[in-house]
Amino acid sequence: MSSSDDEGGEEYLFKIVIIGDSAVGKSNLLSRYARNEFNLHSKATIGVEFQTQVMDIDGKEVKAQIWDTAGQERFRAVTSAYYRGAVGALIVYDISRRSTFDSVGRWLDELKTHSDTTVARMLVGNKCDLENIRDVTVEEGTSLAEAEGFFFMETSALDSTNVKKAFEIVIREIYNNVS
């Protein structure tokens, strides 16, 4: 996080990381939020390091630098550099694949190892458009998030449900933590 004060206007830069098992939709959540794009056949290896989104909060310019993995999570090799300096995190699972929900604890442990406790966290159950093959209930997501003390939201990068909302809640929470 950094904040500068030039020409009277304050600026904020927040690093946010997206973590979770392979193929839960991390890259598509980011491309939906940053570019309003969705890719049915996105390749895990294609990905930029981060995208920057600018938001206005209380008349202040807030820049969110949102990091996406380049597929390293397949090899359980997300490095400490990825987490370094992060002040927010979205921990994503796929509501149609229970194994990805079961992995959330491991991702949380990794996050705790590499960042400090003030990181604003949101648990994200993605692919809520796949209601017909749902494998994790809304209640399960809610109670896990409650137990850990962070936000929860079900999203769909495919039909855009709650994507903007999820990112903006995290960005606002970070802003509230620092301002």
The residues binding ligand GDP (CB under 6 A) are 22-28, 39-42, 44, 126-127, 129-130, 156-158
Q: Which does 130 bind (CB under 5 to 8 A by kind): Mg ion, ligand GDP, none?
A: ligand GDP
C-beta of residue 78 within 8 angstroms of C-beta of residue 104: no
C-beta of residue 89 within 8 angstroms of C-beta of residue 17: yes
**Closest residue by beta carbon to Mg ion:** 27
Residue 106: CB minimum distance to ligand GDP, A: 15
* Nearer of residues 2 and 74 to Mg ion, judged by Cβ: 74
What's the CA gap between 72 and 45, in Å, rounded? Answer: 8
What's the CA gap between 64 and 58, in Å, rounded? Answer: 15
Give 71's contacts (C-beta < 8 A, 6+ positions apart).
Answer: 22, 44, 45, 47
Residue numbers at the binding site for Mg ion (CB under 5 A): 26-27
Residue 140: CB minimum distance to Mg ion, A: 24
Structure tokens at 150: 């962070």
Residue 95: CB minimum distance to ligand GDP, A: 9
Q: Which does 126 bind (CB under 5 to 8 A by kind): Mg ion, ligand GDP, none?
A: ligand GDP
